[in-house]
């Protein structure tokens, strides 16, 4: 299904129209079906008549600024927080609820659910090979300019790094940087995605014991967060610098990074990370 077909079907469903009632007096029902499946591009005259019945301007079908409303908005909001907390039990519970909802989903929304499933498979059920294979298959059918493509590619990169496929990881990371260079980071989704990619790379460098490189990557990303006036991933980045800097910094400097991260967790209500920071600070104070 292409973007025209998706928008067409979405608006028809929104108005409660069947394909037959939409087509009545304008065209054959089979033409509506073909439009929605991306198998037929209507003439300007036919599309104009259909747009009138669908109560939208012609621009609705072609202007990217007129967005398709997602029926997963609430789920995306909740899943984002659960992913940050690595709460895969609740994530799977909500995922199953969404699967059973009888609502129209765009191609991007369907892909988003499949992406969530791959994460659950990888981390919750240790089905690493299946999760990687599913993501590779999904990526082959998605436009590389889309936001969901970037999400999937970043997750696949993480999976590669965790199973020791370092060459594949490095290839994907280079591609991600190249793709993000073409994006407007004033757009929050792109900004957050780019920060996540940089944070993940710093974490990868730590796993390879390249601590000075990891610190440099994290500090540059922290500066980006401050320039863009966002707290997204700022606390984890500060913690990463503190952890990686134990070989180069004294305990007081390391503690300061944790204290700054703690304040951010209090401000932005992240109790799980706050608890971990408090435990670390308590241990640090005992050793000082």
Residue 114 resides in a domain: no
The H-assigned helical ranges of 181-231 are: 188-207, 211-227
Number of H helices, E strands in the chain: 16, 0
> Which of 40, 62, 84 corresponds to the end of one domain?
62
Instruction: State the pTM of this model.
Output: 0.75
Any domain includes 154:
no
Give the end of a domain, one of 21, 47, 62: 62
127 alpha-carbon distance from chain centroid? 21
What is the residue-level pLDDT of the chain in tens, covering all 288 positions? 567 888 888 888 877 788 998 999 999 999 999 998 888 888 888 988 898 888 788 778 876 555 556 778 889 989 998 998 899 999 999 999 999 887 777 777 889 999 999 999 999 999 999 999 999 999 998 878 788 999 999 999 999 999 999 999 999 999 999 999 988 898 888 999 999 999 999 999 999 999 999 999 999 999 999 999 999 999 999 999 999 988 788 888 889 999 999 998 888 878 878 888 998 888 877 766
Q: Is residue 159 part of a domain?
A: no
Residue 23 belongs to domain with CATH number? 1.10.260.40
Total of domains in the chain: 2
Q: Which domain holds residue 25?
A: 3-62
Which of 62, 94, 112 is the endpoint of a domain? 62
HEC assignment per residue over 127-193: CHHHHHHHHHHHHHCCCCCCHHHHHHHHHHHHHHHHCCCHHHHHHHHHHHHHHHCCCCCCCHHHHHH
Distance between CA 210 and CA 207 in Å, rounded?
8
Encoded tokens for 26: 């304008």
199 touches 237 (CB < 8 A) = yes
């Amino acid at each position: 299904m292409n973007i025209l077909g998706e928008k067409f079907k979405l608006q028809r469903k929104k108005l409660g129209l069947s394909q037959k009632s939409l087509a009545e007096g304008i065209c054959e029902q089979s033409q509506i079906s073909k439009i929605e499946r991306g198998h037929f591009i209507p003439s300007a005259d036919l599309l104009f008549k259909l747009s009138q019945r669908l109560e939208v301007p012609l621009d609705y079908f072609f202007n990217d600024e007129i967005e398709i409303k997602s029926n997963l908005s609430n789920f995306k909001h909740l899943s984002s927080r659960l992913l940050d907390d690595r709460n895969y039990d609740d994530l799977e519970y909500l995922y199953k609820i969404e699967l059973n909802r009888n609502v129209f989903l765009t191609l991007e929304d369907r892909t988003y659910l499949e992406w969530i499933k791959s994460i659950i498979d990888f981390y919750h059920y240790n089905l690493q090979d299946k999760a990687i294979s599913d993501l590779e298959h999904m990526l082959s059918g998605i436009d590389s300019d889309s936001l969901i493509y970037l999400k999937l590619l970043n997750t696949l990169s993480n999976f590669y790094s965790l199973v020791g496929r370092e060459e594949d990881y490095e290839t994907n990371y280079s591609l991600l940087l190249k793709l993000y260079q073409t994006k407007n980071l004033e757009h929050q989704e792109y900004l957050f995605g780019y920060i996540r990619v940089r944070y993940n790379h710093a974490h990868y460098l730590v796993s390879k014991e390249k601590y000075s490189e990891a610190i440099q990557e994290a500090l540059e990303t922290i500066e980006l967060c401050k320039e863009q006036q966002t707290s997204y991933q700022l606390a984890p980045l500060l913690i990463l610098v503190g952890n990686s800097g134990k070989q180069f910094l004294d305990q007081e400097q390391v503690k300061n990074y944790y204290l700054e991260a703690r304040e951010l967790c209090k401000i932005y209500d992240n109790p799980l990370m706050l608890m971990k920071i408090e435990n670390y600070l308590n241990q640090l104070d005992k050793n000082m």
